[in-house]
A and B are shown apart, each in its own frame.
Chain A
Amino acid sequence: MVAALAVKNLTKVYGNGFEALKGITLEVQQGDFFALLGPNGAGKSTTLGIVCGLVQKTSGEATVMGYDVNDDAFNARRMLGVVPQEFNFNQFEKVIDIVVNQAGYFGIRKAEAEANAEELLKALDLWEKKDQQSRMLSGGMKRRLMIARALVHKPQVLILDEPTAGVDIELRRSMWEFMVELNKQGTTIILTTHYLEEAEQLCRNIAIINKGEIVQSTSVRALLSQLTTETFVFDLNDKVSPDITLGDFPVKVTGDDSLEVTVAKGQSINEIFAMLTGQGVQVRSMRTKSNRLEELFVNLVREGKA
């Protein structure tokens, strides 16, 4: 099966000499939910910009569903839907016109475009705003409008460049549900995000890019298995001694009624509960100290593997 997105030895050197991409190679399979992660300026948006025709590559190849983005831009672009990082619609146009016009640019006639637009705007809770100028929408609504616009021609591959940036938690969750459903229906989704929880929850495969190079490209599961330790925060019903010990588990008392315990691979959390119960301490709640993927990401970028 042809890859949904294939990038080979892709380089980009900007006019000021900045080398944004240093020959990256990447493949995303059809039906995947793929995350491209990296710190600011790593080359994520440049990569996606080249794929969707907004940035000129310096050298290398990029194909979408087997179509070269330069030599067969017509077919490559028909396969793609793009949700950029920044709002890029006309602020004075009506919501419905933005979506219907976008369908027109893909050759979809008005009646069909209007039907598609209605379906998407209803699914994204924007139908009641269809006759409003886009500048009147809230930030979250603008993000959803860009998703509706990107999907109006029913693309096989959807690229989302930080789709939930600046979106409140409730809306972010509903956008996740929408994207998961879309992926279940067969759309390949490629996203960049700063919310590593988002990548961990949604994506099956992941690539980490730093300073224009791919540091890791693997499945989320394989990446997480690289973690050797994980730190848990225990909120307690009882006060604990600052000198408390829990066998082999490194403990840090962070307050009168809270602990941080580091658990190594192969150790069981049950042992911690047993030891706390044995010392007459009841656990009120427990959570991981930080997102697991975040720890790996920070390590990968910091450790100079990049």
Chain B
Amino acid sequence: MSTSPLSNAQVQWVAFQTIVTKEIRRFMRIWQQTLLPPAITMSLYFIIFGNLIGSRIGSMDGVDYMAYIVPGLIMMSVITNAYGNVSSSFFSNKFQRSIEEVMVAPVHPFTILAGYVCGGVARGVAVGIIVTLLSLYFTHLQVHNFWVMSSVILLSAVLFSLGGFINAVFATKFDDVAIIPTFVITPLTYLGGVFYSISLLPDFWQDVSKLNPILYMVNTFRYGVLGISDINIWFAFGMLGFFVVVLGAYSLWLLKRGTGMRQ
């Protein structure tokens, strides 16, 4: 048995790879709980809202209704799965105390955070790809701007992974990791322009809708796919970047303090 001396950078890189690989293997191992349910749910959305109801609606902002809702449904899948992956995995490790495995090792808090966030992004993107492939059965998708589309997906997945991490840090029981998705993320997603353009709303409700951050993510992604948006996409990128930095810094601070983990 031999162990050669390693630099801090080498240790952090291997530790990062270990955490990411472990996280990906975790959600792949329980694919019936992680990958299959969003595929079934989104197929039902496509059939009911897209095909059955959508055929009566016709078009939205000049686009076939089915094609209009697809970007929003993809974004909804990505953010809920990125959030859910980190919150459930990190809380489960905390609950079983297996988080101590990394805490007694020479792993920097940034490496731990990056590893879990990349795991969340990987699941969010994996589900996003599955939902995209399913949507191709129902409608034809174009790509208006690949870079806008991919960067907003990645930034949103990172942001919601960070949110899931913070949720898990403060959670003390499994119910606590279900409260935010149920009572905050899901309502904001439904009211975030997934199924309609906010131009259909009275001015007052349009202004209220613009306080919803998910509206910006959905519309920016829709712009990347279809070339239409209710909002300024550069403002959306600025806002996303700002919140990623703020939540990232806060998550690191929590990890360094050992909140919820260290006595």
Interface set of A (CB-CB < 8 Å, partner B) = 14, 46, 49, 52-56, 73-75, 77-78, 80, 82, 84, 86-91, 93, 97-98, 101-102, 104-109, 112, 115-116, 119-120, 149, 153-154
Contact = CB atoms under 8 A, between A and B. Distances in A.
Contact of A106 (B2, B22, B106): B106
A69 to B, nearest CB: 11
B150 interface: no
B106 A77 contact: yes
Interface string B114-134: 000000000000000000000
Interface string B1-40: 1110010101111110111001000000000000000000
Nearest to A119: B1
B104 interface: yes
A112 B15 CA distance: 14
A107 B22 CA distance: 15
**What are the nearest 6 A-B pairs in CB distance?**
A104-B18, A107-B11, A105-B105, A88-B97, A90-B98, A77-B106
B18 A53 contact: no
A73 B11 CA distance: 13
A52 B101 CA distance: 11
Given A112-B2, A112-B3, A153-B3, A102 B263 contact: no
Given A101-B18, A105-B15, A84 B100 contact: yes
Given A56-B258, A108-B14, A101 B22 contact: yes
Contact of B106 (A49, A78, A86, A98): A78
Contacts of B182: none
Contacts of A53: 103-104, 262
Contacts of A119: 1
12 contacts: A54-B103, A54-B104, A74-B106, A78-B106, A87-B97, A93-B98, A106-B106, A107-B6, A108-B3, A112-B3, A119-B1, A120-B1
A70 to B, nearest CB: 11
Contacts of A98: 101
A107 B93 contact: no
A88 B14 contact: no
B102 interface: yes
Interface string B44-88: 000000000000000000000000000000000000000000000
A88 B106 CA distance: 18
Interface of B: 1-3, 6, 8, 10-15, 17-19, 22, 92-93, 96-98, 100-108, 258, 262-263
A90 B106 contact: no
A91 B97 CA distance: 10
B104 A52 contact: yes
A12 to B, nearest CB: 9
B3 A55 contact: no
B100 A54 contact: yes
Nearest to B8: A74
Contact of A105 (B1, B18, B92, B96): B18
Contact of B11 (A88, A89, A106): A106
Given A56-B262, A91-B96, 14 more contacts: A14-B263, A46-B263, A52-B104, A54-B103, A56-B263, A74-B106, A78-B106, A80-B104, A88-B97, A90-B96, A104-B17, A106-B3, A107-B11, A107-B14
Nearest to B7: A107
A73 B106 contact: yes
B3 A154 contact: yes
A93 B30 CA distance: 12
B105 A106 contact: yes
Contacts of B106: 73-75, 77-78, 105-107
Contacts of B22: 97, 101
Nearest to A46: B263
A298 B262 CA distance: 32
Contacts of B19: 105
B118 to A, nearest CB: 14
A115 B1 CA distance: 7
B249 to A, nearest CB: 20
Contacts of B17: 104
Contacts of A149: 101
Contacts of B13: 107
A87 B10 CA distance: 29
A56 B263 CA distance: 6
B85 to A, nearest CB: 15
Of the candidates A78, A80, A86, the one having the most CB atoms from chain B within 10 angstroms of its own CB is A78
A119 B105 CA distance: 21
Contacts of B96: 88-91
